[in-house]
Structure 1
């Protein structure tokens, strides 16, 4: 991470008094009230049964009944048209699975972390699956996004998913680059796009940056004043809001009279039209819990993981927050995060920016010792927090969530006795892609499309490390999770180029519990192009021209398949890739129906499956 903080500057403003509460501070401050009658702050899922929350279950069942049949039929038409254009014929079972509601696959999409790069690469990959994109529709990949049941994100992709949902599901061009103003649109419906031209913590000249950071501090002061700890994640969440949440434009970026996304809560997104219409895959973002007594023997040994694989992964969705991992197996209402008991409920703790920060803040990578942390790029900001707020015993590099599971699962949950639950970046256990929510058997996901943007090597390209970590964790928790077999050697990933083109994993599994994994990675530039997608995860400024270059190249990576030589000797996209993708999407339902692979699908899976 480059200099997020100029230490001397921040030490200087640490001596300045915080101003009175402003509009943003008031909107960011959690509120206390009596709990509604019948409120329960703990829902036990069962260590092995893993029952879904009732609101999620209703959302998914209604979406499957009212939305997905038409979405799958539309996708079938798109891929069918592509097959006809190539003078190919889809196997009968592909058409049957995609056209019959009782046979439709349950599809999940998982997008890895990786800062601005992951947010942009992930958006471009979703754009390649979006029926609203005419290029993708003509290509034959468009429509899969509309047909998915779930989508998951962590770290940089949590910025993407939360931004996408709170903006009411605009196109991805609009999401990143803004909605073009015209006479038919009201001001309230205009989304300015991501404001990557402003550095996340040093967005202007010295004076502007001083005032900006002071305004962030003021934003979180009200939360501290009502008794909650504030950490780097609160400050980080407030700047993420200015970049990814409605309410900030280039013109008002430094205006302290604007709420800048404060008050936009995760639970409030349930009232958005797109969610009321069940028109979007159910979104989930994850964060890692970091225990006071970690099991260091369970650290993933191929990366610098700081969280053991045996720690519970916390997932945030619009309705609930918690973990299906068997050591916890409990959820609490997202709306009431921070509540002390069933009588006094807190609202407003689940700010979208704070959730984005809890999932996507890499500050813990510097916390190897007090000296290293103090000398790190965030050392000055920590000095500022310490000088402003007196908080003995609070770990400032982690999100500090009043533990909703205090006293729960005492025999298995390491933090059962902790009043504060500490959460850090969702990739800090080595799992850079959020597979875990899609492995919950109660969700019944048949197929996972994974977009992996992790920088695994010195060139900042992907080499499958997060997949290896997820397989390792699933094997540790094999009583509840099943994961397809993947190569555990990085050398195999390199020698077989498994991250340099799409690869399918789990093709030969005969277990109906093991999802088929469609793996698309940022492993190399496409089609001989000069690489632009292998930038650092830790970039804090991301101007629109850089976002455009990565967005366009990422679309090519997501749609090229395994490049082929045409008759003229030029490398081009695999023209059959959209058909091969459809073959993989339906393959688990093919297995369940007893049909045999045939025709173009047999050759496609021979080519794209890892065995």
Structure 2
């Protein structure tokens, strides 16, 4: 702590001192396009449709590779399905990485790259951001070096860390002095950029190399702690917005207001920092303990503790439409899991995406580092009040635990039609198979052995310990809606559905 305190005091004292800025961070004014805001009622954004069309051949090839081991599945086309990775810090990122690795190798190889969408929030957004900005590489531990943590990324190399934080301080200061609001999320997002090698990358620059990536945050009006009615916000490479509010802005022009257009608010670190800004408390508490008096940082640090986790954007939806957002000057967003829905299912439930199934990877810390189904039950309540179709799920976490549904894969919605319950939910809870994967959400350093152990355990979890019957049932669940539409025989799925489907 003393080391970090000295480091931050030095870096914080440099506001206004010119430090070389290799990558532009502060948003810049740009010419406005003819139109950059739309209502979601118009259906999918053309850019999303184009992305999925471009990936059509890859999806078909990957799905064919997977389904060749499953003669009981008779489909001429690839069923549309998505994957959702929950929040939970590095635990969620690494367990989620392992799950995706398990869907990309072995008997389940082809499922990951056959998916249409990949959504993540908080720690899950770090996973999505890492893969999407690297053109969806093969998943290995070498993608992440977590030995030193975000606050001192160069370990005990004091001056390297000092230069790093001095550069971050300069970037935030430049953003502030160019007329933009700043928050603790700016610091957090830039720290994430270093950790995941994202400097200079924009969310709108991500190109089609895998499933359509979505990061999730939720709205929270400044000065309040009220979440649900403020909406779920999704960040995709083509647009940012909320289906509940029926408003979306082109991602490249996020933060533009009327005829004053800007580009740069979609900085990738800031996007995934917004999705995970519950972790702002790390720097908030550190700054407070150090008693920093620098006037610039004091405005950030000494504000309301209720607002320390808010990311500030100029409200592109000001005076647009009839939602509550139209009256606000700012768009204030917080961690995607702060509404209790720690698995980003809501974007994938949208009728416009028309998905048959969703693989839900739950790395939540509900009980001693492991999930208890709370996120799923929360989404069921949300769906019931927001006109979203959702599968029947247990009505309480007690029932989840009593039936052991939080310790093994389970499928929801098997025995209802898509018209009744929407996508089938394939629930994959984090569980210990060969590594203690219920690590603390606030564990910010992992040795390479720990990192690899987490990923290895996640891969085993999604395959249910290599259970061939589960593999068969995964194929059945992903294909069920499409086979029903085609009038295909599903009788060979009956026995595995009896084992894995909840009703």
Aligned CA-pair RMSD: 2.6
Of 572, 579, 603 in structure 1, the residue corresponding to residue 472 of structure 2 is 579
Q: How does 1:57-206 map to 2 (within 5 A)?
A: 57-64=49-56, 66-77=57-68, 79-80=69-70, 90-91=71-72, 94=73, 96-97=74-75, 100-101=76-77, 104-130=78-104, 133=105, 136=106, 140-173=107-140, 176-177=141-142, 193-203=143-153, 204-205=155-156
Instruction: Work out whether residues 185 and 280 of structure 2, in 8 Å CA contact, stay in contact via their aligned partners in 1.
Output: no
Question: Is 2:345 the partner of 1:408?
Answer: no
Identify the residue that residue 329 of structure 1 maps to in structure 2: 246
Give the aligned length.
497
Instruction: Work out whether residues 418 and 481 of structure 2, in 8 Å CA contact, stay in contact via their aligned partners in 1.
Output: no
Identify the residue that residue 183 of structure 2 maps to in structure 1: 231
**Runs of 4+ displaced beyond 6 Å:** 391-394
For 1:5 and 1:605, the matched residues in 2 are separated by: 56
Question: Is 2:219 the partner of 1:289?
Answer: yes
Identify the residue that residue 182 of structure 1 maps to in structure 2: none
Q: How does 1:558-577 map to 2 (within 5 A)?
A: 558-560=462-464, 573-577=466-470
Q: For residues 41-98 of structure 1, give each alpha carbon's deviation from its aligned partner in whole angstroms, at most 9, with x where no partner exists.
A: 311122xxx511111122223433x333333222211x23xxxxxxxxx43xx1x22x
Instruction: Work out whether residues 109 and 450 of structure 1, in 8 Å CA contact, stay in contact via their aligned partners in 2.
Output: yes
Secondary structure of 1:583's counterpart equals helix
Secondary structure of 1:34's counterpart equals coil
Of 27, 39, 43 in structure 2, the residue corresponding to residue 44 of structure 1 is 39
Find the structure with the greater CA-based Rg.
1
Of 19, 22, 31 in structure 1, the residue corresponding to residue 20 of structure 2 is 22
Instruction: Work out whether residues 4 and 151 of structure 2, in 8 Å CA contact, stay in contact via their aligned partners in 1.
Output: no
Identify the residue that residue 348 of structure 2 maps to in structure 1: 438
Question: Cα distance, 1:518 vs. partner?
Answer: 0.6
Instruction: Work out whether residues 288 and 307 of structure 1, in 8 Å CA contact, stay in contact via their aligned partners in 2.
Output: no
Secondary structure of 1:310's counterpart equals helix
Secondary structure of 2:218's counterpart equals strand
Question: Is 2:376 the partner of 1:467?
Answer: yes
Question: Cα distance, 1:11 vs. partner?
Answer: 5.2
Q: For residues 3-32 of structure 1, give each alpha carbon's deviation from its aligned partner in whole angstroms, at most 9, with x where no partner exists.
A: 7995676457544444214224x5112211
Identify the residue that residue 347 of structure 1 maps to in structure 2: 263
Secondary structure of 1:28's counterpart equals coil
Instruction: Work out whether residues 11 and 166 of structure 2, in 8 Å CA contact, stay in contact via their aligned partners in 1.
Output: yes
Question: Cα distance, 1:393 vs. partner?
Answer: 7.8
Identify the residue that residue 597 of structure 1 maps to in structure 2: 490
Instruction: Report the TM-score when normalising by structure 2.
Output: 0.92
For 2:360 and 2:291, the matched residues in 1 are separated by: 35
Identify the residue that residue 610 of structure 1 maps to in structure 2: 502
Instruction: Report the TM-score when normalising by structure 1.
Output: 0.76
Sort the Cα spacing of 1:384 and 1:399 in 2 relative to 1 into closer, same or farther, 3 A.
farther
Identify the residue that residue 497 of structure 1 maps to in structure 2: 404
Sort the Cα spacing of 1:590 and 1:560 in 2 relative to 1 into closer, same or farther, 3 A.
same
Instruction: Work out whether residues 40 and 248 of structure 2, in 8 Å CA contact, stay in contact via their aligned partners in 1.
Output: yes
Instruction: Work out whether residues 86 and 344 of structure 2, in 8 Å CA contact, stay in contact via their aligned partners in 1.
Output: yes
Q: For residues 548-586 of structure 1, give each alpha carbon's deviation from its aligned partner in whole angstroms, at most 9, with x where no partner exists.
A: 11111111111126xxxxxxxxxxx42322111111111
Identify the residue that residue 338 of structure 1 maps to in structure 2: 255
Question: Cα distance, 1:505 vs. partner?
Answer: 0.3
Sort the Cα spacing of 1:385 and 1:504 in 2 relative to 1 into closer, same or farther, 3 A.
farther
Sort the Cα spacing of 1:198 and 1:19 in 2 relative to 1 into closer, same or farther, 3 A.
farther
Question: Cα distance, 1:351 vs. partner?
Answer: 0.7
Question: Is 2:283 the partner of 1:397?
Answer: no
Instruction: Work out whether residues 102 and 458 of structure 2, in 8 Å CA contact, stay in contact via their aligned partners in 1.
Output: no
Structure 2: gaps of 5 or more residues: none
For 2:15 and 2:348, the matched residues in 1 are separated by: 47
Q: How does 1:442-461 map to 2 (within 5 A)?
A: 442-457=352-367, 459-461=368-370
For 2:139 and 2:223, the matched residues in 1 are separated by: 42
Question: Is 2:423 the partner of 1:515?
Answer: yes
Instruction: Work out whether residues 4 and 201 of structure 1, in 8 Å CA contact, stay in contact via their aligned partners in 2.
Output: no
Instruction: Work out whether residues 313 and 323 of structure 1, in 8 Å CA contact, stay in contact via their aligned partners in 2.
Output: yes
For 2:205 and 2:231, the matched residues in 1 are separated by: 26
Sort the Cα spacing of 1:596 and 1:365 in 2 relative to 1 into closer, same or farther, 3 A.
farther
Sort the Cα spacing of 1:4 and 1:548 in 2 relative to 1 into closer, same or farther, 3 A.
farther
